[in-house]
Amino acid sequence: MHKILIPIFLLLFTTYLANATNDFPVPRWVSLKGDANLRKGPHMLATIIYRYEFPNYPMEIIQDAGDWKKVVDRRDGVTGWMNKILFSGKRYAITKTSPYSFGYDKPNKNKIIAKISSDVHVKLEECDTVFCKISLEHQNKNLKLWIEKSNLIGVYMNEIIE
């Protein structure tokens, strides 16, 4: 009898573990699809800590618990839980250098083409070992330029995005 129960338990436990994660690495960056509530715990009845009302806001997932993800807002440092349906795999970032970051025409700092204030939301197009190509809207124009990774919240220093 025990010989049968152990394999069944192991099968059920491994099935649970497989369903509890998405096979994505933790930590990882995602962005919010739209308005989202940050909660104290991993369930809908948990107290709301903060309400985000900005689509494409970058959040870092630090713990994976099935449909619920523990996240950190690296801009403010607040931590809480969000449901996975609130996230998009599209990559965005926020500029963090004050008073501004420099945007270059190429990733080797040939020519400065923009000064970007801190707290500007940008779309990540690609990243090499030091720079990221970003796009942002300014005066009804879509600008694409290169910025140093160290000036962005929403990308890891060792991360390559193609």
pTM over 0.75: yes
pLDDT in tens, 105-116: 988 778 999 999
pLDDT(17) > 50: no
CA of 31: how far to CAs of 4, 55, 105, 123, in Å?
45, 8, 26, 10
The fold for domain 24-88 equals: SH3 type barrels. (2.30.30)
pLDDT(2) > 80: no
Q: Answer whether 24-88 and 93-153 agree in fold.
A: yes
pLDDT in tens, 59-96: 999 999 999 999 999 999 999 999 999 999 999 999 99
Read off the tokens for 119.
């707290």
Read off the tokens for 67.
């449909």
pLDDT at position 45, please? 97
Tell me the residue length of the chain. Answer: 162
The fold for domain 93-153 equals: SH3 type barrels. (2.30.30)
- Rounded Cα gap, residues 114 and 105, in angstroms: 9
What are the structural domain ranges in the chain? Answer: 24-88, 93-153
CA of 141: how far to CAs of 30, 136, 137, 144, in Å?
25, 8, 6, 10
Query: Could you tell me the pLDDT band of residue 10, with boundaries at 50, 70 and 90?
Result: very low
- Rounded Cα gap, residues 113 and 102, in angstroms: 8
Query: Could you tell me the pLDDT band of residue 23, with boundaries at 50, 70 and 90?
Result: low
pLDDT(21) > 70: no
pLDDT in tens, 40-52: 999 999 999 999 9
